[in-house]
Amino acid sequence: MNSPPARKIFPRLDESLLTHLPPFSKLDRREIRTILDQATSLRFDPGVAIFEEGVPADRFYMLLDGYVRVVRIAPTGEQVTALHVPAGQLIGIARALGRENYPATAVTASETLALSWPTRLWDGFVSDYDGFATETYKTVGHRVGEMNDRIVEMATQQVEQRVASAILRLISQTGRRVSDGIEIDFPITRQDLSELTATTLHTVSRLLSAWEKDGLVHSRRKRITVRDAHALVVLSQR
């Protein structure tokens, strides 16, 4: 997976479009403008690595639109999806974790628009803008909490509970209302779900087929719609 060359797509993004997003939500418009004027705007096709695990973390990114899969490479060489990150969040913030290299690979799950800054600007942003720092570390804390929840799920829950929990988490983060329920608003495969829940592709396929027969979900190529969220909640807790 290779990162594409940077392509600037916005001549000048209006700072008012970012005032509701961390890490900008605690900053005034003048401060946001100063940060934006140092950004490069990028467009990525689906299935592209924005950055790769182990590579020096020379840039960090704000997702404006689209979704990203955070992928780790297991010692056996297998690719494992650790989590999904929706628009409105920072990625590639290795510096916030005290890392010099990216700890994971970020792969676009759909067409994605992002802003990008050189990592050398990170320390200045953190020291100059209190709101930037506090909101960023809230995001880091949320992701650590999500990963801890998944570890607990894998240690204490049966496979059916884990898969139900993963789907509920995804519709909570990225779901959109459609005519027959709530759709996960980015392409997701059964293989992705198996990686998220530490189970096999066969098991995920069997569960989704059974749930579709019972009217809980509708699954088609790279798309999952939840038709009965309450029933999934019950499955995740029993």
Q: Are 67 and 109 in contact (CB under 8 A)?
A: yes
Both tokens of 90, joined, read 């920072």
Q: Are 96 and 124 in contact (CB under 8 A)?
A: no
Both tokens of 82, joined, read 């650790």
Q: What are phi and psi of 226, to 5 degrees?
A: -90, 120
Arch. (CATH architecture) of 15-148: Sandwich (2.60)
pLDDT score of 6: 46
Count CB atoms within 10 A of the CB of residue 66.
20
pLDDT score of 5: 45
What residue type is assigned to position 232 of the chain?
L
| Cα–Cα distance, 69 to 82 (Å, whole number) | 8
Residue that wins the pLDDT comparison between 11 and 50: 50
CATH node for 157-237? 1.10.10.10
- Name the pairing type of β-strands 223-226 and 181-184: antiparallel
Mind listing the pLDDT tens digit for each residue in 122-157? Answer: 999 999 988 888 888 887 777 777 777 777 777 778
Bridge partner residues of 54 (DSSP): none
Residue that wins the pLDDT comparison between 7 and 146: 146
* Identical topology for domains 15-148 and 157-237: no
Instruction: Count Cα atoms within 13 angstroms, Cβ side, for 65.
Output: 9
| Cα–Cα distance, 102 to 99 (Å, whole number) | 7
Q: Please provide the DSSP assignment of 65-93 as one string.
A: ESEEEEEEE-TTS-EEEEEEEETTSEE--
Q: SS3 helix, strand, coil % of the chain, rounded to 5?
A: 40, 25, 35
Helices (H) and strands (E) in the chain, counts: 7, 12
Residue 156: name the closest of 236, 71, 210, 82 by CA: 236
| Cα–Cα distance, 85 to 226 (Å, whole number) | 20
Q: Read off the pLDDT band of 9 (50, 70, 90).
A: low
pLDDT score of 220: 85
| pLDDT at 12 exceeding the cut of 80 | no
Mean of all residue pLDDT scores within the chain = 86
The vertex-102 CA angle with 151 and 192, nearest 5°, equals 45
Residue 46, preceding peptide bond in cis (omega within 30° of 0): no
| pLDDT at 176 exceeding the cut of 70 | yes
Mind listing the pLDDT tens digit for each residue in 15-74? Answer: 888 888 888 888 999 999 999 999 998 999 988 999 999 999 999 999 999 889 898 877
What is the domain partition of the chain in residue ranges?
A: 15-148, 157-237
Q: What are phi and psi of 68, to 5 degrees?
A: -130, 135
pLDDT score of 8: 55
| Cα–Cα distance, 47 to 114 (Å, whole number) | 15
